[in-house]
Amino acid sequence: MSHRILDRDQVEHIAKLARLRLTEDEKDLMAEQLSSILDYVAKLNELDTTDVDPMHHAVDRSNVFRDDNPHKSIDHNEALANAPQTDGTFFIVPRVI
């Protein structure tokens, strides 16, 4: 295992953005593991890409469109079927304000 690229503060920040609650031990573990992943990927930086165009996309295609024609797909009840909580009209979530 090499030096840590990510410190604990950064791990806490990322955990917060991802809405994850980590124990102190987990924070250490994540710093370790994420660092080694980044370290591994950093190998790509060794390549000289001066004359390589940035890749916009994994597949070599562009301009995939649909026409502006409405179509109904699922009905209201199906849409709500996976709601954590519903009154039959809305998705209900814990208050956010």
Partner 1 sequence: MKYEAVIGLEVHIQLLTETKIFCGCSTRFGDAPNTNVCPVCLGMPGVLPVLNKKVVDFAIKLALATNCSIAPVSQFARKNYFYPDLPKNYQISQYEKPIAEHGWLEIDTQNGPKKIGIRRIHMEEDAGKLIHDESKPVSYVDFNRTGVPLLEIVSEPDIRTPEEAAQYLKTLRDIVVYLEICDGNMEEGSFRCDANISLRPMGSTELGVKTELKNMNSFKNVQKALEFEIRRQSALLDRGEKVVQETRLWDAARGVTVGMRTKEEEQDYRYFPDPDLVPVVVDKEWIDEVKNTVPELPRDKKLRFMDQYGLPEYDAEILVSDRHLADYFEETIVRFNRPKTVSNWILTELLRELNQRECSITQCPVSPERLAELLQLIDDETISAKIGKSVFEEMFSTGKSARTIVEEKGLKQVTDTDLLEKVVSEVLEQHPKEVEKYLGGAEKVIGFFVGQVMRKTQGKANPKLVNELLRKKLEEKRSK
Binding-residue pattern over the window 62 to 91 for partner 1, x denoting contact by CB under 8 A:
xxxxxxxxxx-xx-x--xx-x--x-x-xxx
Matching residue, tokens 């009840």: 77
DSSP state of 60: S
Identify the residue among 17, 41, 47, 52 touching partner 1 (CB under 8 A): 17
Residues contacting partner 1: total by CB under 8 A: 36
Q: Is 43 in the site for partner 1 (CB under 8 A)?
A: no
The enclosing H or E element of 10 equals helix 8-17
Residue 11 neighbours by CB under 8 Å, 6+ apart: 22, 27, 30, 31, 34
List residues near partner 1 by CB under 8 A.
13, 16-17, 19, 56-59, 61-71, 73-74, 76, 79-80, 82, 85, 87, 89-97
